Structure 1
């Protein structure tokens, strides 16, 4: 049910967001560290959360767009001027971070790997 996309780096993220249609399905962004040649992120917290998030998405019965965003390598992410940290729309402090776009709901760090918190994040708003 979830449409899954992958974006690499800030420019792809910025371009994607600028073309979002507010009438389309809800969009959820998952910010994670760049994948190494072995297929795993350099970010150990991201590696822990990813299988939980993937399993959750497989069970999710909602029409959403789930966008995996690679924030770059460790050096890029650790730079205090990293655009994912400074962009007022994301204000990332840690990765992984999951953000329901155009809302205030988010999970950060180890929260991303907890199924009960994912349930709460994806609950319908009244």
Structure 2
């Protein structure tokens, strides 16, 4: 039920979101998870991302909803720390910290250590009435 996509870098992210149809009836919600690039060990260089990832993965495995979950690698530490990093400056993302989870085309988001809290993930994924 959950479709997971992985994107690497800003260019792949740009191409993907350009094709999301906003507010289409019966369209699957898109949730975007921004995280630091993975090291050869398979873990991100970002400590908060390493903490959040297993919680988010476990939550997605239990989720019984039709959603598209997009994992976006924002790059290495140097790329992320650059004040001109496009993920920081893009008006659609306005990232200040990673990890960040955004309900695309909505206002709901979790930032930093919030991403590792199941109760907050529940609130993010609740259906809008």
Q: Which blocks of at least 5 consecutive residues in structure 2 are unaligned?
A: none
2:11 corresponds to: 11
Aligned residues between the structures: 126
Q: Which runs of 4+ in 1 moved over 3 A?
A: none
2:106 pairs with 1:99: no
CA distance in 2 between counterparts of 1:21 and 1:34 reads 27
Q: Structure 1 residues 54-63 or 16-25, which shifts more?
A: 16-25
Alignment RMSD: 0.6
Cα displacement string for residues 35-88 of structure 1 (whole angstroms, at most 9, x for unaligned residues): 001100000000000000000000001000000000000000000000000000
2:30 pairs with 1:48: no
The offset of 1:121, in angstroms, is 0.4
> Alignment partner of 1:69: what SS?
strand
CA distance in 1 between counterparts of 2:29 and 2:66 reads 7
Match of 1:82 among 76, 82, 85: 85
> Alignment partner of 2:96: what SS?
coil
2:64 corresponds to: 61
